[in-house]
Chain A
Amino acid sequence: MAMPATVAWACPCGCRPSRTVSSDAYLKQTIRLGRPGRVMPRFDHLSAAEVEAIVEHIRGWHDGDRPVFSQARIEGDVQRGARLFSQHCAQCHGEQGEGGQGTGVTFSRPRDLPIIAPALNNPGFLAAASDAMIKATLMQGREGTPMASFREQGLSEEQINDLVAYVRSFEGEHTDPAPRVEEIEPTLVYDSPYGLEETVEAVERAAVGKNFRLIRRQKLEEGLFPEGEENDRQVIVYFCNFNFLYDALTVDPRVGLFLPCRVTVVEQEGQVRVMTINPKRLSVLFNNERLDQACDEMHRIYTDILEEATF
């Protein structure tokens, strides 16, 4: 079985903690449920034996023991916990526990922290982590990461309980089920009233008008057939806004799979059409809610370009 790479990314490179505050149950639930909207997909299709094997593999990274935590809720004052969270946690985990920026895939860029602070408000995390495990993390910290022991920073056990209660209060914030990728139309397609060449030029003008730089114009079959034998009624226009590209790759380097931007102009049975992928579909495909805004923006830009080119 291929090891799901994203599981390996959950731990910082080179981190070999001598003690752990992650239980086997937490690791198994993390693999099963993933982190909705945070890159780590659900591996709910793996068998129990496969999940067990992955956990054993992860356990092989260090010599620590295997804690087992109670599933009971810990009582605490949510209001006091909110104040403590803002004071001690929000700098790394975000004001609403949304976690650090980025995906865990570094794209080899300099980063301020050796790891990205996890999203504590994520339904996958909240379902996997018991209150006792969260408390143990706060009490002991996480060796090899910027997460220090709050006990050593002077917080009392009561204050730590308040923090646990506040983190638990994030539950229920994510109530809308994510749309399924199959429900979203894969492409955007417009009929053009113009000829093929005229439409290609109109697409290029529209892209430039939206502050994009033209990268190249090529036949779809280029490189697949010898020169001169390609279908010349299928033309791809590539264009790019490098600032947008750079920002999108920073949010999620996997999105380069669908960048730079591309519009294909096709003539079939006398009808010219312009078509692109539907960026809204990518939001679901990549399971990264930080990409949603960029995908919505891209959807609007594509729609504008296709409409303008075929008006």
Chain B
Amino acid sequence: MKRMRLTLLILLLAALLRPALAQDLFMVRSQQPFAESMLLLQEAVREQGYTLSRVQRVDIGLTKMGYETDKYRVVFFGKPEQVRRLTREHPELIPYLPLKIAIFAEESDTLLVAANPRHMAEFYGDDELTAVFDQWAVDIQAMLDRLQAAEGM
């Protein structure tokens, strides 16, 4: 009984501490140029079992309107059946789906940014959603880690 209480206490503490340990944003710098990083990111998205749904070419829109800018894209992705189920069962998630990673050039490097899905967990307080957010966070981190680990040209 004592051991069980201790286990429960540890689990409770872990649950309380978890949100505080999370970073709100994931940011990595890849030493690969933009074009190579973009290809690597698309590969990494697929490797984690996601479907790439679209690439928003932010820089193209800006350039067409006369603004000077370097490469800037937003890559959208998701697991089709999961997106369909979650938007049906949890429509409050719709504005945040599909998932996305912003990728932009900084001189010869490339920077990648994604929101940490775990930042939603505490607000919704739903065990099933928390598990989904955790998995997304792990997968996005794995994608970004692959980019960060890529050797420079």
Residues on B with beta carbons closer than 8 Å to the beta carbon of A185: 123
Cα–Cα, bound, A77→B88 (Å): 64
Determine if A246 and B27 form an interchain contact, defined as CB atoms under 8 angstroms apart: no
Evaluate whether A109 and B68 lie within 8 angstroms (CB atoms) in the complex, with A224-B83, A254-B102 already known: yes
Residues on A with beta carbons closer than 8 Å to the beta carbon of B88: 268
A8 at the interface (CB under 8 A from B): yes
Residues on A with beta carbons closer than 8 Å to the beta carbon of B24: 41, 181, 284-287
Q: Which of A5, A224, A254, A277 contacts B95 (CB 8 A)?
A: A277
Determine if A257 and B53 form an interchain contact, defined as CB atoms under 8 angstroms apart: no
B19 at the interface (CB under 8 A from A): yes
Determine if B119 and A257 form an interchain contact, defined as CB atoms under 8 angstroms apart: no
Number of A-B pairs whose CB atoms are under 8 Å?
A: 149
Determine if A224 and B94 form an interchain contact, defined as CB atoms under 8 angstroms apart: no
Determine if A240 and B61 form an interchain contact, defined as CB atoms under 8 angstroms apart: yes
Q: Which of A186, A187, A215, A284 contacts B61 (CB 8 A)?
A: A215
Q: Please classify the interface of chain B as helix (H, G, I), strand (E, B), loop, or mixed, using the class held by over half of its residues.
A: mixed
Determine if A181 and B83 form an interchain contact, defined as CB atoms under 8 angstroms apart: no
The distance from the CB of B141 to the nearest CB of chain A, in whole angstroms, is 8
Q: How many residues of B contact A (CB 8 A)?
A: 58
Mark interface residues in A61-95 (1 if CB within 8 Å of B CB, else 0).
Answer: 00000000000000000000000000000000000
Chosen A-B contacts, 24 in total, with CB atoms closer than 8 Å, are: A6-B27, A8-B29, A41-B23, A106-B106, A107-B104, A109-B69, A109-B70, A181-B24, A186-B95, A186-B123, A218-B54, A222-B53, A222-B54, A223-B51, A223-B98, A224-B98, A242-B65, A253-B72, A254-B25, A256-B74, A256-B104, A257-B100, A257-B102, A285-B119
Binding site for A on B (CB under 8 A): 19-25, 27-29, 51-54, 56, 58, 61-62, 65, 67-70, 72, 74, 76, 78, 80, 83-84, 87-88, 91-92, 94-98, 100-102, 104-107, 111, 113-115, 119-120, 122-123, 141, 144-145, 148
